[in-house]
């Protein structure tokens, strides 16, 4: 699940990057549009997350097997939709496309490590900091087990926690999408890092 989420985020960002880059020539405009689009993407993802929680809650009354079957069907339909309905974002003449295909290798799962070696010390530090800040985001089943064993949270209460998380995600990402256009990427990034540190420090200090 965690691997799938990571690959989905990378793929969707690549699609947005290619689309936005082809629609404008200004680097500043591209960067701001990219950040704004990512905010709206995360807001839509949070809405889907909320819909999934509510739907799963209704299906659980019919048994866990039904929930997993419906989830599998949704996954298969999504894969089919991407395969049949998603068009290539980087349209190029056939000759140019053939040249590019010969000269480039397909990206690997470890291609992100190039950020640590090819673009200088500042990008390397920024990449490491980003990884450290996002590590707590993907606790997955660990968080659910923690809620059960440490907080004695019931299934209904846990569903409520996730619903609140999804609602906050919709509101914050929608607001962030607008804010990044107003204050610029540098100030927005500083604000995002400080906000993230507040929640980390609060978790460490108060549990």
Which pLDDT score, from 0 to 100, does residue 91 have? Answer: 59
Which of 76-80, 113-117, 164-168, 170-174 has the lowest average pLDDT? 113-117
Contact yes or no for 50/167 (Cβ under 8 A):
yes
Task: Among 10-14, 64-68, 70-74, 121-125, name the one with the lowest average pLDDT.
Answer: 10-14
pTM above 0.75, yes or no: no
Residue 15's pLDDT is: 76
Question: What confidence score (pLDDT) does residue 90 get?
Answer: 61
Instruction: Tell me the mean pLDDT in the region 32-36.
Output: 79
**How much of the chain exceeds pLDDT 90, in percent?**
3
| Per-residue pLDDT at 104 exceeds 70 | no
The residue-averaged pLDDT of 84-110 equals 59
Report pLDDT for 73.
93
Q: Is the pLDDT of residue 165 over 80?
A: yes
For the CA atoms of the chain, what is the radius of gyration? 20
Contact 191, 46 (CB under 8 A): no
**Burial of 87 per CB tally in 10 Å (0-12, 13-18, 19+):** exposed
Q: Which residue has the higher pLDDT, 121 or 5?
A: 121
CA–CA distance, 81 with 62 (Å, rounded to integer): 28
Handedness of CA 83, 89, 90, 91 (dihedral sign): positive
pLDDT on residue 77: 93
* pLDDT tens column, 55-96: 887 887 788 888 889 989 988 998 898 888 877 766 555 554
> Average of pLDDT values for 127-155?
78
């Amino acid at each position: 699940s965690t691997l799938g989420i990571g690959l989905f985020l990378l793929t969707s960002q690549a699609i947005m990057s290619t689309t936005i880059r082809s629609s404008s020539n200004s680097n500043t405009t591209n960067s701001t549009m990219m950040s704004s689009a990512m905010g709206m993407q995360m807001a839509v993802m949070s809405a889907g997350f909320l819909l999934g929680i509510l739907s799963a809650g209704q299906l659980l009354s019919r048994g866990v097997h039904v929930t997993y079957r419906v989830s599998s069907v949704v996954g298969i339909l999504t894969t089919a939709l991407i395969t049949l309905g998603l068009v290539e974002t980087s349209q190029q003449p056939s000759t140019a496309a053939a040249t590019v295909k010969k000269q480039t290798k397909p990206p690997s799962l470890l291609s992100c490590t190039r950020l640590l070696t090819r673009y200088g010390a500042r990008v390397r530090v920024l990449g490491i900091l980003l990884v450290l800040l996002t590590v707590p985001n993907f606790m997955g089943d660990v968080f659910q087990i923690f809620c059960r064993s440490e907080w004695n949270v019931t299934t209904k209460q846990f569903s409520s926690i996730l619903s609140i998380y999804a609602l906050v995600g919709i509101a914050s990402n929608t607001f962030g999408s607008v804010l990044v256009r107003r204050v610029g990427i540098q100030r927005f990034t500083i604000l995002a890092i400080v906000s993230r540190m507040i929640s980390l420090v609060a978790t460490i200090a108060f549990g």
